[in-house]
Amino acid sequence: MGKIYVVGIGPGGKEARTLEMLEAIKESDVIVAYTTYAKLIQDLTDGKEVITAKMKEEVFRAKVAIEKALQGHTVAVISSGDPQVYGMAGLIYDMACKNNVNVEIQIIPGITAANAVAAKLGSPLSMDFAVISLSDLLIPSEEILNRVRKAAEGDFVIVLYNPINKPLLLEAMRIIKEVKGIDVPVGIVKSAYREDEEIMIATLSTWEKFLNKINMITTIIVGNSKSYICNNKIITPRGYERRYDLHVIDSNS
């Protein structure tokens, strides 16, 4: 019997790859991936069987991976970011369990979009945050919007994945603005760590001017009540100012 690596390749750029990810792909003789992800790692797949699929064919990818492993192959199933954050990890385990398949599965973590995007924006995730997908393909929009409201009411920094459904995005941001107010920082990053990367910083009152730039590979971060913008970066204080004086730097020294 073979083995399945469920591999997180990070946001897409080579600089964000991990050594563990590179080793897992090197060991694998079969690569199963969404077409776009296969292109992002094509420099690593020479001499391997590469099986690609379109978006919304996740079940097919999981099925093929499990069947190939049962045939004795070492298979790498590719997810962007981290495979446990809206990736293939849960589906692979779920299908293996439901079909009584006891194949070895190993998760290879990667840099998820929340962390990749936050690094481009400054330090917006320095306090508690919630990650919410705005994809309503599998989850009803009412459930998504309820989670958005609860996260806003809890004053979490909110990370929004998959903002492709514009009406749902607009309603989610309306709810957040209703709860948080208009001055909270908003960071929007499109294609983080890829050639066409774009970084946009706004507030809950001005973010809509970037609406036409938002697509499936865009991630949005909305700050909490303490977040602020300085030098075109979003900063969410950890809370040190509650116990310490941070005005301690002598600029003349």
- CATH number for the domain spanning 213: value is 3.30.950.10
Q: Are residues 171 and 59 in the same domain?
A: no
* Overall average pLDDT of the 84-103 stretch: 96
Most distant pair of Cα atoms in the chain: their distance: 69
Instruction: Tell me the H-state helices in the chain.
Output: 19-27, 35-40, 58-70, 89-98, 113-121, 141-153, 166-180
Task: Tell me if 171 is assigned to some domain.
Answer: yes
Indicate whether 241 pLDDT > 90. no
Q: Are residues 77 and 170 in the same domain?
A: no
Task: Tell me if 250 is assigned to some domain.
Answer: no
Q: Are residues 141 and 106 in the same domain?
A: no
Listed in sequence order, the residues at least 6 apart from 114 whose beta carbon sits closer than 8 Å to its beta carbon are 85, 125, 129, 131, 159, 161, 219, 221
Instruction: Quote the percentage of the chain above a pLDDT of 70.
Output: 100
The token duo for 120 is: 């481009």
Total domains in the chain come to: 2
Distance, C-alpha 213 to centroid of its chain? 18
Backbone dihedral angles phi then psi of residue 151, each to the nearest 5 degrees: -65, -40
Q: Are residues 153 and 96 in the same domain?
A: no
Q: Which helix (H) or strand (E) holds 246?
A: none
pLDDT band at 171 (very low <50, low <70, confident <90, very high): very high
Task: Tell me if 247 is assigned to some domain.
Answer: no
Whole domain around residue 67: which residue ranges?
A: 3-111
Task: Tell me if 248 is assigned to some domain.
Answer: no
Residue 200's SS3 state is strand
Specify the pairing of strand 185-190 against strand 218-222: antiparallel
CA distances in angstroms from 190 to 116, 164, 193, listed in the order given: 11, 12, 9
The token duo for 103 is: 């194949």
Task: Tell me if 31 is assigned to some domain.
Answer: yes
pLDDT band at 253 (very low <50, low <70, confident <90, very high): low
AA identity, residue 60: F
Q: Is the pTM of this model over 0.95?
A: no
Task: Tell me if 242 is assigned to some domain.
Answer: no
Task: Tell me if 122 is assigned to some domain.
Answer: yes
Task: Tell me if 241 is assigned to some domain.
Answer: no
- CATH number for the domain spanning 23: value is 3.40.1010.10
pLDDT band at 239 (very low <50, low <70, confident <90, very high): confident
Q: Are residues 138 and 157 in the same domain?
A: yes
The token duo for 162 is: 């998959």
